[in-house]
Chain A
Amino acid sequence: DAGITQSPRYKITETGRQVTLMCHQTWSHSYMFWYRQDLGHGLRLIYYSAAADITDKGEVPDGYVVSRSKTENFPLTLESATRSQTSVYFCASRFSPHRVDEQYFGPGTRLTVT
């Protein structure tokens, strides 16, 4: 499928479990991003990547790990899930660092940590 996809779309997990959220884009965009969205906080950047094997922290990186071995994939791992990580997670990508109006979002993953 063309575009940007996320999987799973919904996930329920228990506190302490490791969870990986997947993001895949077919545009060969260099830049990819992970955001979380919570009521009262808007969208907050967790991690971003400027290219394969280049990642950097965003605003709220604690408790998360990312990797980018291939341009098209940008998985986000919660090493030991906590209830505070219950959220909706959005992946996004764009081709250029400057064309911010061409940043596209995936459909989101709703994660519940019990």
Chain B
Amino acid sequence: EDKVVQSPLSLVVHEGDTVTLNCSYEVTNFRSLLWYKQEKKAPTFLFMLTSSGIEKKSGRLSSILDKKELFSILNITATQTGDSAVYLCAVPHRDDKIIFGKGTRLHILP
């Protein structure tokens, strides 16, 4: 059965810390992996990764995919209170439906 597993499920850190969020997957015919940020509303798209080892970066956020080991990480450096959110990892599978992990709830303390 296709699945996406995220860890940790929740994380509390202080402002300025660096965090690493994990996502492992088992999906038939893997094509891509997606990261979203969700702040008490609809998820918003962050990154899509399709090739192994290539880092996608946007400001303080970066992500890398390891297709051999079937996982991805999302790094956030110099965290700010505005980074507090649920981060979702997702993978399209059969018929291009997207399956989501349960998310990591990140709380940044000022």
A75 is an interface residue with CB less than 8 A from chain B: no
A-B complex: 7 closest residue pairs judged by Cβ atoms = A105-B42, A42-B102, A101-B48, A43-B100, A97-B96, A42-B100, A100-B92
Instruction: Given A43-B88, A100-B92, verify A105-B43 contact (CB < 8 Å).
Output: yes
Contacts of A103 in B (CB 8 A): 45, 98
By CB atoms of chain B within 10 A, which of A40, A44, A97, A100 has the most? Answer: A100
Nearest A residue to B102, CB-CB:
A42
A40 nearest CB across to chain B (Å): 6
Type the 1/0 row for B83-105, where 1 means its CB is closer than 8 Å to any CB of A: 00000101010011111111100
B4 nearest CB across to chain A (Å): 8
Contacts of A106 in B (CB 8 A): 42
How far is B57's CA from A20's CA once the two chains are assembled, in angstroms?
40
How far is B95's CA from A56's CA once the two chains are assembled, in angstroms?
11
Contact of B102 among A40, A97, A98, A100 (CB under 8 A): A40
Contacts of A59 in B (CB 8 A): 99
A90 is an interface residue with CB less than 8 A from chain B: yes
Contacts of B90 in A (CB 8 A): 43
Nearest A residue to B92, CB-CB:
A100
B99 nearest CB across to chain A (Å): 7
B76 is an interface residue with CB less than 8 A from chain A: no
By CB atoms of chain B within 10 A, which of A35, A48, A97, A101 has the most? Answer: A101
A32 nearest CB across to chain B (Å): 12
B48 nearest CB across to chain A (Å): 4
Instruction: Given A100-B32, A101-B34, verify A45-B42 contact (CB < 8 Å).
Output: no
Q: Are the C-beta atoms of B100 and A101 separated by less than 8 Å? A: no
Contact of B103 among A33, A42, A97, A98 (CB under 8 A): A42
Contacts of A61 in B (CB 8 A): none
Contacts of A90 in B (CB 8 A): 42-43
Type the 1/0 row for B29-56, where 1 means its CB is closer than 8 Å to any CB of A: 0001010000001111100100000000
Q: Are the C-beta atoms of A100 and B41 separated by less than 8 Å? A: no
